[in-house]
Amino acid sequence: MSKFDVVGVGLNATDTLLLVPKFPAYAGKEPFVEEMFSPGGQVASAMVACAKLGLRVKYIGTMGDDERGRIQWDSLLGTGINLDDVQVRKNCANQSAYIVIDQSTGERTVLWRRPDGLRLEPEEIRPEMIIGARLLHIDGHDTPAVARAAEIARAHGIPVTVDVDTVYHGFDRVLPNIDYLITSSEFPPQWTNERDPFRALIMIQEEFGMKVAAMTLGAFGAIARMNGEFVYSPAFVVDCLDTTGAGDVFHGAFCYSVLEGYSLRDSLDFSNAMAALNCTEIGARGGIKDAAAARALLASGQRRSKKDFVQRASS
């Protein structure tokens, strides 16, 4: 029996949320309603979602030893996530972000910083950290380190999911060991120089041979390609307070879906439901729910129409 269902290698961050009635115009001013600390980060938040869904989870990453680092550490304690291979870097600030949340739409604007002292090096990834997992989830930031993790996973038959939203130097070393690629809609054109994101996604999948190549589409949901066919899953319509962390929760839910043996369509639908629920609360992890809540939304929730997606795709 595997020791962990999911091992995650990648970023965490401690956010400062600023709630504003509406986002100011360029060079304008706007009073903010509230300011608060909120833990987040791509892989750390995905792992919290996995733990909430009942999976056995391990997180591998680095944290600073400042106040933001302590907030992040405390946020993970009590979740059931194994933190044995989290490194706390001395005299280093944690990754931080200032996130401006437009209360009129729930959309957020992110300004972030990650000190060089938090870099995870490939030699710090040891095989025993990875081989006890049923699945590995990574991002792309410390590219040599996550490439090493993905290589170990591939050598031991462990499927790998990746969350990537921008082009990282050396990411061509990561992609050959990916089974489930889930990108932003911006990444495929950036990577291939093909303007059409759907053709670009096909190009990436056919070059590197991953089982599933997918894109998240924000308010429009997600689309994925498997066995030469695209599957589209529309987003749910909810009372959106904050979109921060929606993609991270989507990835955590997708990890769960893979391990549960869901079909691709069911995986996308479930992940969209979990992401939508997270948007109904403030913060990157504010609305992470359990599987029962996601299934309830699946059963009765309102969804965007396919017409909306077609219009978006053709624009």
Q: Does some domain include residue 114?
A: no
* CATH number for the domain that contains residue 298: 3.40.1190.20
Task: For residue range 177-208, list pLDDT tens digits in order.
Answer: 999 999 999 999 999 999 999 999 999 999 99
Give φ, ψ of 188 to 5 degrees: -55, -45
Q: Does some domain include residue 300?
A: yes
Record the pTM: 0.95
Q: Does some domain include residue 136?
A: yes
State yes or no: pLDDT of 308 exceeds 80.
Answer: no
Average pLDDT, the chain: 95
Categorize the per-residue pLDDT at 173 as very low, low, confident or very high, splitting at 50, 70 and 90: very high
Q: Does some domain include residue 37?
A: no
Q: Does some domain include residue 305?
A: yes
Domain containing 192 equals 4-12+42-93+121-314
Q: Does some domain include residue 21?
A: no
Contact present, 260 and 281 (Cβ < 8 Å) = no
Task: For residue range 67-114, list pLDDT tens digits in order.
Answer: 999 999 999 998 999 999 999 999 999 999 999 999 999 999 999 999
Q: Does some domain include residue 138?
A: yes
Q: Does some domain include residue 203?
A: yes
- Cα–Cα nearest to 111, from 100, 98, 96, 94: 98
Residues 47, 59: Cα–Cα separation, whole Å: 7
The mean pLDDT of 136-155, rounded to a whole number, is 98
Categorize the per-residue pLDDT at 312 as very low, low, confident or very high, splitting at 50, 70 and 90: low
pLDDT of residue 304: 82
Instruction: Note the maximum CA span of the chain.
Output: 58
State what percent of residues in the chain have pLDDT above 90.
95
Categorize the per-residue pLDDT at 9 as very low, low, confident or very high, splitting at 50, 70 and 90: very high
How many structural domains comprise the chain? 1
State yes or no: pLDDT of 144 exceeds 60.
Answer: yes
The mean pLDDT of 261-269, rounded to a whole number, is 98
Categorize the per-residue pLDDT at 60 as very low, low, confident or very high, splitting at 50, 70 and 90: very high
Task: For residue range 221-248, list pLDDT tens digits in order.
Answer: 999 999 999 999 999 999 999 999 999 9
- The angle subtended at Cα 252 by Cα 85 and Cα 162, nearest 5°, is 75
